[in-house]
Amino acid sequence: MERVAIIGVSMTRFGQRDAWVRELLAEAGAAALTDAGIDGDDLDHLYVSNMASGEFEGQTGVPNALAHDLDAMPAYTARIDQTSSSGGAGVYAAWQSVASGASDLTLLVGGEKMTHRTTSEATDVIASLTHPVEYKHGVTLPSFAGLTARRYLDEYDAPRESLGKVAVKNHANGVDNPHAQFQKEVDLDTVLNSPVVADPLRLYDFCPITDGSAALVFCPESVAADYVPDDEYAVISGIGGATDTHVVHERVDPTTMGGVVDSAEIAYEMAGIGPDDIDVAELHDMFTILEFLQSEDLGFFEKGEGWKAVEAGVTDRDGDLPINTSGGLKSKGHPLGASGVAQVYEIFKQVTGDAGPRQVEAETGLACNVGGFGNCVTTAILEGSK
Partner 1 sequence: MSEPESDTTERNDEQTFEAAEYAGGVVSYPPHPIGPGGTERVGTVDLREHEARVITWTTSTATPPGVREPNTLAIVEFAMGDDYDGPPVRALGQIAEQEDGSADQFDVAIGDRVEPVYADELREPGIGIREPASQSWDGFRFRPVDE
Task: Decide: is 143 part of the binding site for partner 1 (CB under 8 A).
Answer: yes
The contact pattern for partner 1, residues 243-262, with x = CB under 8 A and - = no contact, is ----xxxx-x-x--------
Instruction: Give the binding range for partner 1 (CB under 8 A) out of 41-49, 92-100, 124-132, 339-347.
Output: 124-132
User: In terms of CB distance, is 142 or 164 closer to partner 1?
Assistant: 142
Task: Decide: is 188 part of the binding site for partner 1 (CB under 8 A).
Answer: no
Instruction: Give the binding range for partner 1 (CB under 8 A) out of 138-146, 265-273, 300-308, 323-331.
Output: 138-146
Q: How far is the CB of 58 from partner 1 (least distance, A)?
A: 13
Task: Decide: is 135 part of the binding site for partner 1 (CB under 8 A).
Answer: yes
On the CB side of 224, how many CA atoms lie within 13 Å of its CA?
Answer: 25
Query: Phi and psi for 359 in degrees, rounded to 5?
Result: -60, 135
User: In terms of CB distance, is 289 or 368 closer to partner 1?
Assistant: 289
Q: What is the dihedral of CA 339, 344, 346, 347, to 10 degrees?
A: 150
Q: Which of 134, 205, 296, 346 binds partner 1 (CB under 8 A)?
A: 134
The burial class, CB within 10 Å (0-12 / 13-18 / 19+), for 17 is buried
- Characterise 353 by phi-psi region: left (phi > 0), alpha (psi -120 to 50), beta (else): left
Q: Which of 1, 137, 229, 276 binds partner 1 (CB under 8 A)?
A: 137
* Interacting positions 326-385 with partner 1 (CB under 8 A): none
Q: How far is the CB of 118 from partner 1 (least distance, A)?
A: 9
Task: Decide: is 157 part of the binding site for partner 1 (CB under 8 A).
Answer: no
For 131, other C-beta atoms within 10 Å of its C-beta total: 15
User: In terms of CB distance, is 140 or 378 closer to partner 1?
Assistant: 140
Assess contact for 173 and 319: CB atoms under 8 A.
Answer: no
Task: Decide: is 54 part of the binding site for partner 1 (CB under 8 A).
Answer: no
Q: Which of 64, 299, 327, 298 is nearest to 176 (CA)?
A: 327
User: In terms of CB distance, is 246 or 386 closer to partner 1?
Assistant: 246
User: In terms of CB distance, is 34 or 119 closer to partner 1?
Assistant: 119
SS3 360: coil
Task: Decide: is 57 part of the binding site for partner 1 (CB under 8 A).
Answer: no
- In angstroms, the Cα distances linking 299 to 157, 163, 241 are 20, 19, 16
Task: Decide: is 199 part of the binding site for partner 1 (CB under 8 A).
Answer: yes
Residues found in the chain: 386
- In angstroms, the Cα distances linking 210 to 21, 70, 120 are 12, 24, 14
Task: Decide: is 103 part of the binding site for partner 1 (CB under 8 A).
Answer: no
Instruction: Give the binding range for partner 1 (CB under 8 A) out of 69-77, 144-152, 166-174, 180-188.
Output: 144-152
Task: Decide: is 120 part of the binding site for partner 1 (CB under 8 A).
Answer: yes
Q: Which of 19, 78, 125, 172 binds partner 1 (CB under 8 A)?
A: 125
Task: Decide: is 154 part of the binding site for partner 1 (CB under 8 A).
Answer: yes
SS3 272: coil
Assess contact for 45 and 337: CB atoms under 8 A.
Answer: no
- Characterise 333 by phi-psi region: left (phi > 0), alpha (psi -120 to 50), beta (else): left
The burial class, CB within 10 Å (0-12 / 13-18 / 19+), for 3 is middle
- Contact positions toward partner 1, by CB under 8 A? 55, 119-121, 123-125, 127-128, 131-140, 142-143, 146-151, 154, 195-201, 247-250, 252, 254
